[in-house]
Chain A
Amino acid sequence: MEFEPVIGLEIHVELKTKSKMFSAAPVAYGKEPNTLCAPLDMAFPGTLPTVNKEGVVYAIRVSNALHMSIDNELHFDRKNYFYSDLPKGFQITQQRRPIGSEGYLEIEIDGKVKRIGIERLHIEEDTCKQLHFPAFTLLNYNRAGVPLVEIVSKPELRSGEEAMKYVEKIRSIVVFSGVSDGKMEEGSLRVDTNVSIRPKGSDVFGTKVEVKNINSINYVQKAIDFEIARQAKIIEEGGKVVQETRRFDDKKNETVPMRLKTDAVDYKYYPETNITPIKLSDEFIENAIKSCPELAESKKKRYIEEHGLNDYDASLLVSEKEVSDYYDEATKHSKAYKLLANWINVDVASYLNKNIMSISDFPMSPEKLAGLVKLVESNEVNSNQAREIFAKMLEEGVDAKKAKEILGISSQISDLSFIQDAVNKVLEENPQAIIDYKEGKGRALGFLVGQIMKKTQGKINPKITSDLLLEELKKR
């Protein structure tokens, strides 16, 4: 039987606001446990939530990037349940009126664009981080109250690959819009998936299995593909898929059961009365959107249309926000876009790869790289020399001119009259070679270039030289 997978994703994104969603405690990752908490984050009686404007701005940016309609009133609700990582015994969230609703995202599958519907985006707060030991559990309240947006897709994804591309796109949006680190390994972007399968052509949903704890983009695809295959096998063998929550085991590369999902928990949602509804003015919403840094898609378009880059180079540049930022900065100092892109995508990338480093730690400033590109652009150095200079710049931390000087590379001569003189002299001295060339002996050209280089000690620009030589040969 042929099956059609039905996949929906719930993505939690931690916002990198300065302070928490409802308290004044700072937001930071990797700080000493329990040092970033206000009384509210530990649910001290009598504390009250105040809405973080920055968090709202960030939620609007993401909603807008996902083509969602944005509510012009902020409403919050309480989700009530007891859990050790939940300080207040309820989570403040947006159940009735999410800030963003009914949007979509476009992904590319086999060269075709597919639109994935997004049901809602709502603001909520994170819980404590738990560290489990055999005999006890430690709680870290630093994470309690960190702003989150939850993005809920419609069940319109049909494969692990689509899901992975969807997550990549969401990650790109939240990172480029400056609202999140989007790091799955650090938990600032968390993916929960719902997977079910049904006979192709059927419009009834199969039994849904939730897969949690997927902590890298690659695992999204692996987990889902595994889950699809697992469910298909069960059905083909005449079994029934059990409704449950599973997690992805990255050692085994498979999903393993976590808990049975019986009747869904009743969260007893009701309105948060400590926050009266907040009217969002058109101006506020517009400003939130206007202040959003340029997203990957728009950057890519600009690189192709305005900078003349090809799709491949432009895509590479926007694969990481920091890389595109580096490129943007470099273009302030050099307009040799193709050369810049090439250097960043090839030489810089290979250096980073070799040193297992991200571009934010790359020691050469965009301005210095642009300096090197200028030397190449003006034909002062050839590409082999430029690579030597690049290595020297990294070694010594100097700019391109200084590196060139240290290496003792003298500039190529591009002075046309000087080169013309050399060409003329060599042609006069070698009439036989001219004849050979005219008779179609290919070797003659190489001989003449060699003679010119010899005469000038190889200091002249080879490209200009061969251009001038060919022109001169035509005349004779």
Chain B
Amino acid sequence: MYEGKSILELHELLISKKVTPLDLAKDAIELAKKDNCNAFEYIMEKEAIEIASTLGEVEVGNPLWGIPFVIKDNMSTKDVPTTGSSNILNGYIPVYDAAVVERLKNAKAVPIGKATLDELAMGGTGTSGHLGITHNPWDKSHSRLVGGSSCGSAAATAAGIVPFSLASDTGDSTRKPASYAGLVGFKPTWSRISRYGLFPFAPSLDTIGVFTRNVSDAAIVTEVLSGRDDRDSTSSTKDVDHYFNKIKEKCSKRRIAVVKEVVEAVKDKDVRDAFDKTLDGLKSKGFVINEVSMSVELLSSLFPTYFVLSCAEATSNNANMDGIKFGPLSNGSTFEEVVTEARTKGFSELIKRRFVIGSFALMKENQKELFVRAQKNRRRIVEAVNNILKDNDFVYLPAAPSIAPKFTDASDRLSDEYLIADNHLVLGNFAGLPSITLPIGFKDGMPFGANLMGRAFEETELFQVSYELEQVTGLANIYAEGGEK
């Protein structure tokens, strides 16, 4: 009944008492139960109804009051199973809430479920979680992926089940699926939002992410999530601005860079045309578009650099799963046997492959040639990005080279299209910059998006320019109707 409504629309309904938080929670749970995209690890029916029932008088000015949302299952939720979509965490029930979950609960938003992901957030397809493939709700034939790793959060939000969801972003795990699912997908400046309770994949790159169906909603949620948390010593002490209140103010920063080599790597004509059209729209709004250049050599190194660094960090961050505290019970008689059995059974082949690669890169004899070299290259990349942002306020690019691929599509992993057009969003992770994807067009009934990246801690400006871009595209509040079929 309330399917596809935005946070602000629901807030209005709550204020006018046309609906209660309990109605919204029940409705979202109904929709979640009918979900056929494999978006959910766990539906928090009991918990959601309990929370929604305790909410009394509506809080005007707190737009998250009573709003249902979904949590990616790599975030710790107290007393609620949290698996990271990995068999190694089957049956794990955390004793504490992640900082972002706590903040949303404090704002009286109502969590209704835990969403599927690529196993332990490693992957970009939404196909590697222990519950199997997650489908794209826009594609009724279920032959297209929704992208990952935040596949369940993306699917649930794109199907209109909830107006927003929590995701995470290490390479592009929020912003790529946003492109495939017609969503607004946002990642903040690294350190802006506490990672306490987010299962670590690669902490130097990891951030919390947010899916919404319009830019204003993203600003609302981000504002609540942001701010210092003493439990995450890397979290910033900088004040949090009023992202939402300022969103309609005309952005004072109006220089937008477009990286020529990335755009050229996009071969899909429809995507290119739609992107060019938005450029015209932005120009007509008074933005200055500057075509800038990055070396193809450097851009082609994004993926290998990312892979080495993220796998290296991942292998260490998941070493806690040794079959003693987490993982399947083993009959092993020595520690070596227990840990080997637990990790062999508990992780999928894809994950083990990453761990082996990560370990290999950190080995004494390889570390200089692989890990340290990747670290150095990361610095070169960051330098190149910061150089662009010296004379420009934003970088604007197609978020992905195409609409969501079919499961059967194979990409040429050595093509520019893959290495550059499909992987450039990681620039935001390398440099720790805020970055947002929003829909700009459709092809074959499937949405696709573009991405804006701003300077560190310039979230306010990023939301403002995104809001203007949303006016240009007119693609706010779209969702895949009938996702519950």
Interface residues of A (CB under 8 A from B): 39, 42-51, 78, 80, 82-84, 87-90, 137, 139, 266, 268, 270, 273-276
B359:A268 contact, CB within 8 angstroms: yes
Interface of A is mostly: loop
Chain B: CB-nearest residue to A22: B233
Q: Which of B16-24, B48-56, B313-321 contacts A (4 or more CB under 8 A)?
A: B313-321
Residues of B within 8 A of A137 (CB): 335
Contact A39 B234 (CB under 8 A): no
Residues in B with CB closer than 8 Å to A88 are 319-320
Within 8 A of A (CB), among B195-215: 195-200, 202-204
Residue of B nearest to A49 (CB): B233
Would B94 and A90 count as touching, CB distance under 8 A?
no
Query: Which residues of chain B have C-beta atoms less than 8 A from A275's C-beta?
Result: 233-234
User: In the complex the two chains form, what is the Cα distance from A90 to B312 in whole Å?
Assistant: 13
Instruction: Determine, out of B277-285, B363-371, B421-429, the stretch whose residues face the partner at the interface.
Output: B363-371
Q: State whether A266 touches B364 (Cβ < 8 A).
A: yes
Q: Please tell me the size bucket of the interface on B.
A: 35 or more
Q: Tell me, in angstroms, the Cα distance from A51 to B257 when the chains sit together.
A: 40
**Whole-angstrom distance between the Cβ of A249 and the nearest chain B Cβ:** 24
CB <8 Å contact, A270 and B319: no
5 A-B residue pairs with CB within 8 Å: A46-B197, A48-B232, A270-B367, A274-B200, A274-B234
Cα-based distance from A137 to B336 in the complex (angstroms):
13
CA distance A90 to B199 in the complex (A): 16
| Complex: chain B residue closest to A45, CB-CB | B199
| B233–A50 touching, CB < 8 Å | yes
Say yes or no: B98 contacts A43, CB within 8 Å: no
Q: B123 on the interface (CB 8 Å rule)?
A: no
Q: Which residue, A46, A270, A275, has most C-beta atoms of chain B within 10 A?
A: A46
| B9 cross-chain contacts in A, Cβ below 8 A | none
Do the beta carbons of A139 and B324 come within 8 Å of each other? yes
Closest 10 A/B residue pairs (Cβ): A89-B319, A43-B320, A268-B362, A273-B204, A84-B335, A46-B197, A273-B203, A46-B76, A45-B199, A50-B233
Q: Does B89 contact A (CB under 8 A)?
A: yes
A276 with B233: CB separation less than 8 A: yes
Which one of A44, A45, A89 has the greatest number of beta carbons of chain B within 10 Å? A45
Chain A residues with CB below 8 A from B195, complex form: 46, 48
Residue of B nearest to A275 (CB): B233
B155 touches A (CB below 8 Å) = no
Residues of B at the A interface (CB closer than 8 Å) are 74-76, 82, 84, 89, 92, 94-96, 98, 195-200, 202-204, 230-234, 312-313, 315-316, 318-322, 324-326, 335, 339, 359, 362-364, 367, 371
Q: Which of A43, A47, A137 has the most CB of B within 10 A?
A: A47
Counted as pairs of residues, one from A and one from B, with CB atoms less than 8 Å apart, the total is 95
Rounded to whole angstroms, the CA-CA distance of A384 and B87 in the bound complex is 80
Q: How far is the CA of A83 from the CA of B319 in the complex (A)?
A: 10
Given contacts A88-B320, A268-B359, A273-B313, A46 and B232 within 8 Å (CB-CB): no
B99 vs chain A, min Cβ distance (A): 9
CB neighbours of A83 from chain B (8 A) = 335
Q: Shortest Cβ distance from B207 into chain A, in angstroms?
A: 13
Given contacts A266-B363, A270-B362, is CB(A46)–CB(B199) below 8 Å? yes
Contacts of A90 in B (CB 8 A): 316, 319
Nearest B residue (CB) for A272: B203
Least CB distance from B343 to A in Å reads: 9
- Known A89-B316, A90-B319; judge A44-B94 contact (CB<8 A): yes
Interface centre among B94, B231, B318, B320 (most CB of A within 10 A): B320
**Which residues of B lie under 8 Å from residue A87 when comparing CB positions?**
320, 325
Minimum CB–CB distance for B182 against chain A, Å: 30
Q: Which residues of B contact A270 (CB under 8 A)?
A: 312-313, 316, 362, 367, 371
B447 to chain A, nearest CB (A): 32
Chain A residues closer than 8 Å to B95, beta-carbon distance: 39, 44
B315 to chain A: which residues have CB within 8 Å?
80
Q: Which A residues lie within 8 Å of B363 (CB)?
A: 266, 268
Q: Is the beta-carbon distance between B362 and A45 smaller than 8 angstroms? A: no
How far is the CB of A464 from the nearest CB of chain B, in Å? 70
Considering the complex, give the chain B residue whose CB is closest to the CB of A128. Answer: B324
Is the pair B94, A268 in contact by a Cβ cutoff of 8 Å?
Answer: no
Asked if residues A46 and B196 are in contact (CB atoms below 8 Å), the reply is: yes
CB distance from B323 to the nearest CB of A (A): 10
Contact in complex: B316, A47 (CB < 8 Å): no
Nearest CB of A to B101, in Å: 10
| Distance in Å: Cβ of B100 to nearest Cβ of chain A | 11
Instruction: Give bound CA distance, A80 to B320, whole Å.
Output: 11
Once the chains bind, are A276 and B325 in contact (CB under 8 Å)?
Answer: no
In the complex formed, the residue of A with least CB distance to B235 is: A48
- Could you tell me if B196 and A48 are in contact, using CB atoms closer than 8 angstroms? yes
Inter-chain contacts of A273 with B (CB < 8 A)? 202-204, 313
Given A84-B335, A88-B319, A266-B363, 6 extra CB contacts under 8 A: A43-B320, A43-B325, A48-B196, A89-B316, A270-B362, A274-B203
Question: Min CB distance, A56 to chain B, in Å?
Answer: 13
Bound CA span A88–B324, Å? 11
Given A268-B367, A273-B313; A42-B325 close (CB under 8 Å): yes
CA distance A262 to B403 in the complex (A): 55
CB-based contact B233/A46 at 8 Å: no
B325 touching A51, Cβ below 8 Å: no
Q: In chain A, what residue has the closest Cβ to B315? A: A80
A50 contacts across to B, CB distance below 8 A? 230-231, 233
The CA-CA distance from A84 to B200 in the complex, in Å, is 21
Knowing A45-B76, A266-B363 are in contact, say whether A276-B234 is a contact too (CB < 8 A).
yes
**Which residue of chain B is the closest to A50 with respect to CB atoms?**
B233
Q: Is the CB of A46 within 8 A of B316?
A: no
Q: Distance (Å) between the CB of B365 and the closest chain A CB?
A: 8
Q: Which A residues lie within 8 Å of B198 (CB)?
A: 46
CA gap between A89 and B355 in the complex, in Å? 13
Distance in angstroms between the alpha carbons of A83 and B230 in the assembled complex? 30
